[in-house]
């Protein structure tokens, strides 16, 4: 694997995302911007429209959707189990253990994963990545919240939290329209198209804005464990579970890359909300994002 092979992969697929994120980072450092409000607009408005449009354009078989759901669950739980065992061996305290679990389990499949997979493997792969993003969001907003709260929230409350995620309704609407072979009125279709075009740039810019607010940590062992699980163990789990489920083609490629992404920015929100080690979580998000090109570039090349 030569540098001349790796450089075009990085330049064409990862560098454009990094440039927009860098612009967001500079904006966040120079201008006071309410990133939480922008994040809520992206989560509650742009993300659902984006997923709706992708699924409407790319009709996936039910078997592939099922495989993606199972794959997402297996990768998330597998990452969490390894982080948990590592934390036990390293004798982390409770707060550090929970913070490490979150940053190891939940990856940045939205702001970073969606545009990367679209650039690398095309629109058909993006439909698989969108489903992974939806299922990962469901897990984050149920199991993730439950782990972060560690007993402060009942299983019922965590489950009901699913229905506060607007993207799930976008998925249901797209599946209904596809199954009934309905055609959207042209004004609605064009409105969705315009919003879809804005969704991805906003998500990438938001990544840079969020990173501009990150802090450092002294918990180097926990940082090292979480970063290793995300960037090294993640791809291995992705390859293993994809083979186990018999995934092929762009669905397999999208799944493996999604399993290999940096830690999700949403983890910082969970850490702040439930008084975890916010500096550890923030540092893990920053470090895994900065180091991710070193692992994602050869991975994309190997996947073809």
Q: Which domains does the chain have, with CATH numbers?
A: 3-303 (1.20.1530.20)
What is the full DSSP assignment across 40-61?
A: HHIIIIIHHHHHHHHHHHS---
Asked whether residue 176 carries a pLDDT value surpassing 80, the answer given is yes
Average pLDDT of span 262-279 = 83
Residue 130 pLDDT > 90: no
d(CA 127, CA 118): 9
Residue 158's pLDDT is what? Answer: 65
pLDDT of 152 over the 70 cut: no
Q: Average pLDDT of 73-84?
A: 96
The predicted structure's pLDDT at residue 234 = 96
Q: For 45, what's the count of Cα atoms within 13 Å in the CB-facing half-sphere?
A: 13
Nearest alpha-carbon partner for 247 in 38, 64, 12:
64
Q: Residues in the chain, how many?
A: 304
Closest CA to 148 of 184, 195, 94, 199: 94
- 3-class secondary structure per residue, 152-181: CCCHHHHHHHHHHCHHHHHHHHHHHHHHCC
- Mean pLDDT, range 218-231, rounded to an integer: 93
219 with 96: CB under 8 angstroms?
Answer: yes
pLDDT tens-digit map of 191-211: 988 888 888 888 888 888 888
Rounded to two decimals, what is the model's pTM? 0.85
Is the pLDDT at 1 greater than 70? The verdict is no
Give the pLDDT confidence of 12-69 residue by residue, as tens digits: 889 998 899 899 999 988 988 888 788 788 878 888 888 888 878 777 788 888 899 9
Among the residue ranges 133-142, 152-161, 207-216, the one predicted with the least confidence is 152-161
| Residue scoring higher pLDDT (175 or 105) | 105
Rounded mean pLDDT, 243-271: 91
Give residues with Cβ within 8 angstroms of 160, minimum separation 6.
none
Q: In whole numbers, what is the pLDDT of the chain averaged over residues?
A: 87
What is the spatial distance between Cα 105 and Cα 74, in angstroms, rounded to a whole number?
Answer: 10
At residue 284, the pLDDT reads 93
Cα distances from 291 to residues 14, 115, 285, in angstroms, run: 12, 18, 10
In angstroms, the Cα distances linking 269 to 115, 207, 225, 282 are: 22, 13, 20, 10
Q: What is the mean pLDDT of the segment spanning 258-278?
A: 85
Which DSSP symbol is given to 12?
Answer: I
Q: Binning pLDDT at 50, 70 and 90, where does residue 270 land?
A: confident
Average pLDDT over residues 124-133: 88
Query: Does 92 or 304 have the greater pLDDT score?
Result: 92
Mean per-residue pLDDT for 174-190? 87
For 248-252, what is the mean pLDDT? 92
């Amino acid at each position: 694997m030569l540098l001349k092979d790796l450089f075009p992969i990085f330049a064409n697929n990862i560098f454009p995302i990094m440039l927009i994120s860098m612009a967001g980072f500079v904006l966040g450092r120079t201008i006071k911007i309410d990133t939480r409000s922008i994040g809520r607009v992206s989560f509650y408005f742009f993300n659902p429209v984006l997923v709706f449009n992708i699924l409407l354009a790319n009709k996936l078989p039910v078997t592939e959707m099922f495989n993606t759901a199972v794959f997402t669950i297996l990768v998330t739980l597998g990452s969490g189990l390894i982080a948990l065992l590592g934390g036990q061996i390293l004798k982390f305290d409770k707060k550090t253990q929970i913070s490490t679990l979150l940053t190891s389990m939940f990856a940045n499949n939205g702001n970073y994963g969606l545009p990367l997979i679209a650039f690398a493997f095309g629109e058909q792969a993006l439909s698989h990545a969108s489903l992974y993003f939806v299922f990962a969001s469901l897990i984050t907003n149920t199991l993730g919240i439950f782990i972060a709260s560690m007993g402060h929230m009942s299983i019922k409350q965590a489950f009901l939290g699913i229905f506060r995620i607007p993207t799930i309704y976008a998925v249901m609407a797209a599946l209904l329209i596809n199954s009934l072979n309905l055609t959207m009125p042209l004004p609605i279709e064009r409105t969705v198209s315009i919003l879809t075009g804005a969704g991805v740039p906003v998500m990438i810019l938001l990544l840079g804005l969020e990173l501009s607010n990150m802090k450092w940590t002294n918990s180097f062992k926990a940082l090292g464990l979480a970063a290793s699980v995300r960037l090294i163990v993640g791809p291995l789990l992705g390859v293993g579970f994809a083979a186990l489920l018999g995934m092929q083609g762009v669905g397999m490629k999208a799944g493996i890359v999604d399993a290999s992404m940096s830690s999700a920015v949403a983890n910082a929100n969970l850490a702040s909300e439930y008084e975890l080690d916010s500096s550890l979580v923030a540092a893990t998000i920053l470090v895994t994002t900065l180091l991710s090109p070193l692992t994602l570039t050869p991975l994309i090349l190997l996947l073809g």
